[in-house]
């Protein structure tokens, strides 16, 4: 079985912002976790390049839409490279193969009798690329999200007969685990309960889109085409643009990870389109929350948008990943606060985790010939740190399976805290001054080094760089969470207590995590 996971396909109307980086980083942690566990993973991200919004942005910049899309999608590619995102697909919906997949899919939906002509009247938000139901203001209505004027539309379009799927969609969203976190299910349920209405899937007079076969003058509505990007993305490099081939490469998706604002498209429209085409449904849709900054919505007009490229440049991969995944329960809204950001990074990573390894390895080197001390008692499974490690492992494996990155981070941190506490209680630096305590010190240092090794392994999906530096410092093999998985999983085996070889030479320690000193505001 392939584990297929997707980020949204990002609009290329603007350069990437922190919201896009947030989803992609979380997906990267999930993809790395699944690979480490031995799954074969297809991790899809990409760009959504059609529609009115993109067409207008390009016009305003004096570029052809294609030139504009080429430029912005290159920025996304570069950003993901610099973040070392382990995606194995990057789909652009302007890829010529995508057009053919859309055409083949549409043919199926049309053959099911689900395409009808109709008149579309309503208020449209170009920034959302969505019709808005019943705006509050009678005159000059605005989009509640974008605070931009809605535009009145009245056109003859092709409609998808969503209303036919009322019962199936109700059953689907009632399925436990389909919409995650469960707290997001209500809003979709309410929407569906009001009765599903057919929705228009084509536009007239919009050249920047994929032409609808057999319906001259119509191009596909950007969302109809974009969602299918998840399927086109499955094609391997040399594959012919064939729907069946794409599906055989990893469909259905195990999870679509998205922001809460686009839940309806993923949990209602998309499954209905797939049902109409006779295709299997994704197993899960996870809608995460929105990031604000110091309590305020991030936006260009406020001038407070955090640029993920700059953030990376100034703070490094580990710090940003740790803060976003450790501080905000995935699914809830979160607030980016600079002070808290540096506090957490410094306390958790530099002090608690970094120092643990550093000071223990220094003591082991000083007193035990630059090597891991020999042990008898530390290998026992009822050793307090063996117990703490087993508890942490259980929590991390469970939490990452359900995308609870914060729980996983906290469980890992707890193990490091337990190991630091143990070290302070045992105080080997005092014991070494006494007679006949050498064996005890050897046992204690072994146990703490072993706990640090397990911390390094458990943190690998969240912070692959820090994990690598820690394992190098322990002279340990490096699990590669970016490479294709092997079964049985070496990572799961390495997580067993007692894996650190006694007598193994320890390299000279150097700090594994630098403190974050942000003198200027970000």
Strand-strand pairing, 179-180 and 151-160: unpaired
- Name the one range near ligand MSP by CB under 6 A: 3-11, 27-35, 83-91, 309-317: 3-11
Among 3, 4, 5, 9, binds ligand MSP (CB under 6 A): 9
Q: Report in angstroms how near the CB of residue 163 gets to ligand MSP at its nearest.
A: 22
- Whose tokens are 């056109």? That residue is 155
Q: Which of residues 260-289 bind ligand MSP (CB under 6 A)?
A: 261-262
Residue facing ligand MSP at closest CB distance: 259
Identify the DSSP state of 194. Answer: T
Q: Does 259 bind ligand MSP (CB under 6 A)?
A: yes
What are the tokens at 425? 């209680």
Extended strands (E) in 96-243: 115-125, 130-132, 151-160, 179-180, 199-200, 202-204, 218-220
DSSP per-residue string spanning 260-286 = GGGHHIIIIIHHHHHHHTT-PPPS-EE
Q: Report in angstroms how near the CB of residue 208 gets to ligand MSP at its nearest.
A: 14
Q: Does 65 bind ligand MSP (CB under 6 A)?
A: no
Tell me the backbone φ, ψ of residue 211, rounded to 5 degrees: -65, 140
Q: At what angle do helices 308-315 and 65-82 cross, to 10 degrees?
A: 20
**Which of residues 219 and 468 has its CB atom nearest to ligand MSP in the complex?**
219
Distance CA 191, CA 196 (A): 8
**Which of residues 8 and 479 has its CB atom nearest to ligand MSP in the complex?**
8
Q: Does 15 bind ligand MSP (CB under 6 A)?
A: no
Output the CA–CA distances (angstroms, integers) from residue 236 to 153, 229, 248, 250, in the order listed. Answer: 39, 14, 11, 11
- Residue 255, strand partner residues: 5
Among 258, 328, 399, 441, binds ligand MSP (CB under 6 A): 258
- Whose tokens are 């706990």? That residue is 451
Backbone torsion region of residue 70, taken as left when φ is above 0, otherwise alpha when ψ lies between -120 and 50, otherwise beta: alpha
DSSP per-residue string spanning 30-53 = HHHHHHHTT-EEEEEEEEE--SHH
**Which of residues 22 and 105 has its CB atom nearest to ligand MSP in the complex?**
22
Distance CA 235, CA 226 (A): 15
Q: Does 181 bind ligand MSP (CB under 6 A)?
A: no
Q: Report in angstroms how near the CB of residue 290 gets to ligand MSP at its nearest.
A: 4
Q: Does 10 bind ligand MSP (CB under 6 A)?
A: yes
Q: Does 227 bind ligand MSP (CB under 6 A)?
A: yes
CB-CB neighbours of 165 under 10 Å:
23
**Which of residues 274 and 386 has its CB atom nearest to ligand MSP in the complex?**
274
Q: Which of residues 287-346 bind ligand MSP (CB under 6 A)?
A: 290-291, 298
Q: Report in angstroms how near the CB of residue 385 gets to ligand MSP at its nearest.
A: 38
Among 226, 372, 415, 441, binds ligand MSP (CB under 6 A): 226
Q: Report in angstroms how near the CB of residue 180 gets to ligand MSP at its nearest.
A: 14
Q: Does 472 bind ligand MSP (CB under 6 A)?
A: no
Binding mask 18-47 for ligand MSP (x = CB under 6 A): -xx-xx------------------------
**Which of residues 297 and 366 has its CB atom nearest to ligand MSP in the complex?**
297
- Residues contacting ligand MSP: total by CB under 6 A: 19
**Which of residues 8 and 464 has its CB atom nearest to ligand MSP in the complex?**
8
**Which of residues 22 and 123 has its CB atom nearest to ligand MSP in the complex?**
22
> Which residues neighbour 401 within 8 Å (Cβ) at sequence distance 6 or greater?
none
User: What is the four-CA torsion angle of 309, 310, 315, 317, rounded to 10 degrees?
Assistant: 0
- Given a contact cutoff of 8 angstroms between Cβ atoms, the answer to whether 430 and 455 are in contact is no
What are the residues binding ligand MSP (CB under 6 A)? 8-11, 19-20, 22-23, 48, 226-227, 229, 258-259, 261-262, 290-291, 298
């Amino acid at each position: 079985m392939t584990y297929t996971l997707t980020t949204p396909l990002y609009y290329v109307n603007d350069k990437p912002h922190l919201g896009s980086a947030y989803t992609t980083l979380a997906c990267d942690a999930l993809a790395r976790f699944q690979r480490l566990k031995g799954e074969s993973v297809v991790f899809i991200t990409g760009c959504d390049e059609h529609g009115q919004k993109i067409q207008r942005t390009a016009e305003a910049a004096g570029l052809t839409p294609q030139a504009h899309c080429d430029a912005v999608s290159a920025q996304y590619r570069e950003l993901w490279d610099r973040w070392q995102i382990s995606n194995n697909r990057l789909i652009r919906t302007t890829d010529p193969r995508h057009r053919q997949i859309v055409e083949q899919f549409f043919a199926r939906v049309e053959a099911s009798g689900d395409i009808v002509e109709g008149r579309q009247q309503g208020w449209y938000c170009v920034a959302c690329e969505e019709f808005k139901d019943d705006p509050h203001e009678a005159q000059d209505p605005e989009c509640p999200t974008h605070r931009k004027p809605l535009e009145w539309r009245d056109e003859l379009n092709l409609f998808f007969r969503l209303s036919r799927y009322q019962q199936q969609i109700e059953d689907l969203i009632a399925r436990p685990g389909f919409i995650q976190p469960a707290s997001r299910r209500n809003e979709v349920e309410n929407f569906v309960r009001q009765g599903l209405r057919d929705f228009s899937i084509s536009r007239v007079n919009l050249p920047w889109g994929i032409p609808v076969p057999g319906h001259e003058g119509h191009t596909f509505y950007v969302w109809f085409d974009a969602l299918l990007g998840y399927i086109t993305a499955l094609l391997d490099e040399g594959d012919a643009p064939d729907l069946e081939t794409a599906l055989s490469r990893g469909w259905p998706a195990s999870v679509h990870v998205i922001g809460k604002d686009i839940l309806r498209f993923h949990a209602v429209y998309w499954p209905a389109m797939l049902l109409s085409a006779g295709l299997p449904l994704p197993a899960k849709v996870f809608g995460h929350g929105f990031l604000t900054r110091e309590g305020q919505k991030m936006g260009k007009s406020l001038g407070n948008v955090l640029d993920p490229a700059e953030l990376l440049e100034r703070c490094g991969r580990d710090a940003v990943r740790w803060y976003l995944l450790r501080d905000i329960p995935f699914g809830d809204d979160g607030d980016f606060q600079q002070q808290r950001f540096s506090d957490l990074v410094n306390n958790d990573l530099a002090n608690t985790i970094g120092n643990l390894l550093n000071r223990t390895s220094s003591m082991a080197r000083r007193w035990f010939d630059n090597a891991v001390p020999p042990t008898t008692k530390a290998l026992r499974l009822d050793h307090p740190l063996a117990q703490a490690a087993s508890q942490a492992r259980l929590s991390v494996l469970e939490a990452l399976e359900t995308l609870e990155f914060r729980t996983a981070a906290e469980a890992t941190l707890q193990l490091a805290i337990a190991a630091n506490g143990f070290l302070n209680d045992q105080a080997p630096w005092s014991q070494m001054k006494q007679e006949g305590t050498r064996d005890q010190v050897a046992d204690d240092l072994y146990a703490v080094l072993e706990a640090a090794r397990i911390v390094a392994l458990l943190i690998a999906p969240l912070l692959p760089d820090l994990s690598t530096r820690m394992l190098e410092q322990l002279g340990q093999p490096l699990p590669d969470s970016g490479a294709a998985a092997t079964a049985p999983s070496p990572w799961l085996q390495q997580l067993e207590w007692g894996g650190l070889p006694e007598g193994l030479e320890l390299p000279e320690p150097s700090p594994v995590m630098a403190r974050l000193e942000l003198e200027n505001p970000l």
